[in-house]
């Protein structure tokens, strides 16, 4: 396996890449890449600036909404105790009506209902007084 000429072809191949024309062709894509990188950097910086502006606007809006929420919470406070009182009264009314309904059902079925005071069509409820038909 002596010298068959293949090493010369390989050398020529390598030497053709290192020629000044090839070097110039190599540098052009690099300069394009460099210019492209500069453009990409400029675009990214511009996008970053726009995103920062949007973020700042959203922070301001978030702060305004937090303040509004806080004011609404303060405004709601006096109503909370009233709402609790109404809710408790409603629950007592429902319980009393269920009890009254059960006693009436027992009375209609003829069961012993000594604990249900009925007078002239009225049912006496301990919390709300008499309810009459």
DSSP of 70-133, one letter per residue? HHHHHHHHHHHHHHHHHHHHHHHHHHHHHHHHHHHHHHHTT---TT--EETTEEEETTTEEEE-
Q: How confident is the model at residue 118 (pLDDT cuts 50, 70, 90)?
A: low
Is 18 part of a structural domain of the chain?
yes
Is 1 part of a structural domain of the chain?
no
Q: Is residue 67 predicted with pLDDT exceeding 80?
A: yes
User: Looking at the 3D structure of the chain, how many domains does it have?
Assistant: 1
CA angle (84, 90, 96) in 5-degree steps: 140
Is 2 part of a structural domain of the chain?
no
**Distance in angstroms between the alpha carbons of the first and the last residue of the chain:** 124
pTM of this structure: 0.41
Q: How confident is the model at residue 107 (pLDDT cuts 50, 70, 90)?
A: confident
Is 4 part of a structural domain of the chain?
no
Is 29 part of a structural domain of the chain?
yes
Is 56 part of a structural domain of the chain?
yes
- Domain with 31, as residue range(s), is 10-132
Is 5 part of a structural domain of the chain?
no
pLDDT at residue 62 in the model? 98
What does the alpha-carbon distance between residue 82 and residue 119 come to, in Å, rounded to a whole number?
35
């Amino acid at each position: 396996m002596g010298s068959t000429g293949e090493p010369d072809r390989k050398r020529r191949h390598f030497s053709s890449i290192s020629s000044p024309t090839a070097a110039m062709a190599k540098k052009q894509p690099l300069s394009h890449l460099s210019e492209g990188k500069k453009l990409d950097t400029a675009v990214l910086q511009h996008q970053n600036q726009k995103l920062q502006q949007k973020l700042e606007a959203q922070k301001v809006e978030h702060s305004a909404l937090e303040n509004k929420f806080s004011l609404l919470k303060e405004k709601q406070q006096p109503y909370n105790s009233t709402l609790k009182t109404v809710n408790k009264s409603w629950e007592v009314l429902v319980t009393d009506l269920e009890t009254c309904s059960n006693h009436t059902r027992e009375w209609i079925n003829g069961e012993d209902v000594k604990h249900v005071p009925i007078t002239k069509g009225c049912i006496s409820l301990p919390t709300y007084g008499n309810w009459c038909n």
